[in-house]
Structure 1
Amino acid sequence: MEAAIFRQIEQFIEARETSEDAGIHDFLTLSSRRGVGKMIRVKSYVGVLQISDDVQLEILPKIHRASTVDARKAFLHMLRTLHTFSYKMFYNSTLHIDNLPIFEVFIHAYIEIIQRLVKHGLKCTYNEVEDNLYVMKGKINFSKHLQKNFVHQERFFVQYDEYNANRPENRLIKTTLHYLIKHSSSNEHVKQLRLLLRHFDHVPHSRKIKQDFNDVSLQRDMKHYELALSWANVFLQQQSFSAFQGQHDAPALLFPMEKLFESYVGHLVQQEARRTGWHINLQDNRYYLFERSFALRPDIVLTKGTRTIVMDAKWKLLSKTTSKQHQIAQADMYQMYAYAKKYNAEAVYVIYPLVEGFDVADSIQFISDDGVIVYVQFLDILENAPVVLKQSY
Structure 2
Amino acid sequence: MVNANFPIQVFEHEKLKIGLKDDQLSQAQLKMLQEFYGEKGVPYYKLIHKGVQFTEYVGVIKVGNLTIEVLPKADKSSNRKDWHDILINMLKSVGLFKVHAPSSSTLKLKSNSILDLYFELFVNEVEYLIHRGLIKKYRRIEKNSTALKGPIKFAKHTRLNIVHQERFYISKTVYDKDHLIHQILQKTVRLLQRINDNSDLKSRLGSLGLNFPEVADIKVTEEHFNFQLTRKTEIYRNALDIAKLILLNFHPDVSKGRNNVLALMFDMNLLWEKFVYVSLKRNLRKGDTVTAQNQKNFWKPKLGYKTTIRPDIVLNKGKESCVVVDTKWKNLKASNPSADDLRQLYVYKEYFHSKKVALVYPGEYSKIKSGFYYEKSFQSLGEKECAVITQKSFSDISYWQREISRQIYGWIDEN
TM-score tier by shorter-chain length is 0.7 to 0.9
For residues 387 and 168 of structure 2, the distance between their equivalents in structure 1, rounded to whole angstroms, comes to 78
Q: Return the match for 1:367 from 372, 379, 382.
A: 372
Q: Return the match for 1:337 from 324, 346, 352.
A: 346
Q: In structure 2, do the counterparts of structure 1 residues 386 and 110 end up closer, same or farther at CA, with 3 Å as the change threshold?
A: same
Task: Report the counterpart of residue 125 of structure 1 in structure 2.
Answer: 138
1:28 aligns with 2:45: yes
For residues 281 and 212 of structure 1, the distance between their equivalents in structure 2, rounded to whole angstroms, comes to 29
1:14 aligns with 2:25: no
Unaligned runs of 5+ in 1: 33-37
1:275 aligns with 2:285: yes
Give the 3-state SS of the residue equivalent to 1:236 in structure 2. helix
1:149 aligns with 2:164: yes
Task: Report the counterpart of residue 314 of structure 1 in structure 2.
Answer: 328
Give the 3-state SS of the residue equivalent to 1:109 in structure 2. helix
TM-score by length of 2: 0.77
Give the 3-state SS of the residue equivalent to 1:284 in structure 2. coil
Q: Return the match for 2:270 from 259, 263, 267.
A: 259
For residues 107 and 80 of structure 1, the distance between their equivalents in structure 2, rounded to whole angstroms, comes to 15
Q: Is the 8 A contact 2:356 2:412 kept in 1?
A: no
Q: Is the 8 A contact 2:99 2:105 kept in 1?
A: no
Please provide the CA RMSD for this pair: 3.2
Q: In structure 2, do the counterparts of structure 1 residues 11 and 45 end up closer, same or farther at CA, with 3 Å as the change threshold?
A: same
Task: Report the counterpart of residue 82 of structure 2 in structure 1.
Answer: 70
Deviates more, 1:304-313 or 1:157-166: 157-166
Unaligned runs of 5+ in 2: 3-18, 375-381
For residues 341 and 195 of structure 1, the distance between their equivalents in structure 2, rounded to whole angstroms, comes to 60
Q: How does 1:222-261 map to 2 (within 5 A)?
A: 222-238=233-249, 249-261=260-272
Structure 1 residue 156 displacement after superposition: 3.5
Give the 3-state SS of the residue equivalent to 1:391 in structure 2. helix
Task: Report the counterpart of residue 232 of structure 2 in structure 1.
Answer: 221
For residues 81 and 299 of structure 2, the distance between their equivalents in structure 1, rounded to whole angstroms, comes to 43
Q: Is the 8 A contact 2:109 2:116 kept in 1?
A: no
Q: Is the 8 A contact 2:99 2:121 kept in 1?
A: no
Q: Is the 8 A contact 1:148 1:157 kept in 2?
A: no
Structure 1 residue 262 displacement after superposition: 0.3
Give the 3-state SS of the residue equivalent to 1:181 in structure 2. helix
For residues 237 and 128 of structure 2, the distance between their equivalents in structure 1, rounded to whole angstroms, comes to 12
TM-score by length of 1: 0.80
1:347 aligns with 2:352: no
Q: In structure 2, do the counterparts of structure 1 residues 286 and 226 end up closer, same or farther at CA, with 3 Å as the change threshold?
A: same
Give the 3-state SS of the residue equivalent to 2:322 in structure 1. strand
Give the 3-state SS of the residue equivalent to 2:190 in structure 1. helix
Structure 1 residue 96 displacement after superposition: 5.0
Q: Is the 8 A contact 1:283 1:297 kept in 2?
A: yes
Task: Report the counterpart of residue 298 of structure 1 in structure 2.
Answer: 311
For residues 222 and 117 of structure 2, the distance between their equivalents in structure 1, rounded to whole angstroms, comes to 28
Q: Is the 8 A contact 1:169 1:216 kept in 2?
A: no
Q: How many residues align?
A: 363
Q: In structure 2, do the counterparts of structure 1 residues 372 and 280 end up closer, same or farther at CA, with 3 Å as the change threshold?
A: same
Q: In structure 2, do the counterparts of structure 1 residues 297 and 131 end up closer, same or farther at CA, with 3 Å as the change threshold?
A: same
For residues 30 and 212 of structure 1, the distance between their equivalents in structure 2, rounded to whole angstroms, comes to 32
Structure 1 residue 268 displacement after superposition: 1.0
Give the 3-state SS of the residue equivalent to 1:59 in structure 2. strand
Q: In structure 2, do the counterparts of structure 1 residues 212 and 163 end up closer, same or farther at CA, with 3 Å as the change threshold?
A: farther
Q: Is the 8 A contact 2:125 2:238 kept in 1?
A: yes
Q: Return the match for 1:386 from 385, 393, 403.
A: 403
Structure 1 residue 216 displacement after superposition: 4.6
Structure 1 residue 147 displacement after superposition: 4.3
* Moved beyond 6 Å, runs of 4+: 244-248, 289-292
Structure 1 residue 266 displacement after superposition: 0.6
Q: What amino acid maps onto 1:300 in structure 2?
A: I
Q: In structure 2, do the counterparts of structure 1 residues 245 and 156 end up closer, same or farther at CA, with 3 Å as the change threshold?
A: closer
Task: Report the counterpart of residue 298 of structure 2 in structure 1.
Answer: 288
Q: Return the match for 1:110 from 122, 139, 145.
A: 122
Structure 1 residue 312 displacement after superposition: 0.9
Give the 3-state SS of the residue equivalent to 1:209 in structure 2. coil
Task: Report the counterpart of residue 94 of structure 1 in structure 2.
Answer: 106
Structure 1 residue 41 displacement after superposition: 1.0
Q: Deviations over 1:329-368 (max 9, x none)?
A: 211111111122222322211111123xxx21x3323222
By relative contact order (CA 8 Å, sep 6+), the higher-ranking structure is 1
Q: In structure 2, do the counterparts of structure 1 residues 294 and 140 end up closer, same or farther at CA, with 3 Å as the change threshold?
A: closer
For residues 150 and 316 of structure 2, the distance between their equivalents in structure 1, rounded to whole angstroms, comes to 65
Structure 1 residue 102 displacement after superposition: 0.5
For residues 59 and 145 of structure 2, the distance between their equivalents in structure 1, rounded to whole angstroms, comes to 51
Q: What amino acid maps onto 1:277 in structure 2?
A: G
Q: What amino acid maps onto 2:41 in structure 1?
A: G
Q: Deviations over 1:286-333 (max 9, x none)?
A: 45368995422111111285212111110112232xxx52xx221111
1:166 aligns with 2:178: yes
Structure 1 residue 47 displacement after superposition: 1.1
Structure 1 residue 40 displacement after superposition: 2.4
For residues 245 and 306 of structure 1, the distance between their equivalents in structure 2, rounded to whole angstroms, comes to 54
Deviates more, 1:38-47 or 1:286-295: 286-295
Structure 1 residue 257 displacement after superposition: 0.7
Q: What amino acid maps onto 1:227 in structure 2?
A: N
For residues 82 and 194 of structure 1, the distance between their equivalents in structure 2, rounded to whole angstroms, comes to 31
For residues 99 and 175 of structure 1, the distance between their equivalents in structure 2, rounded to whole angstroms, comes to 27
Q: What amino acid maps onto 1:164 in structure 2?
A: D
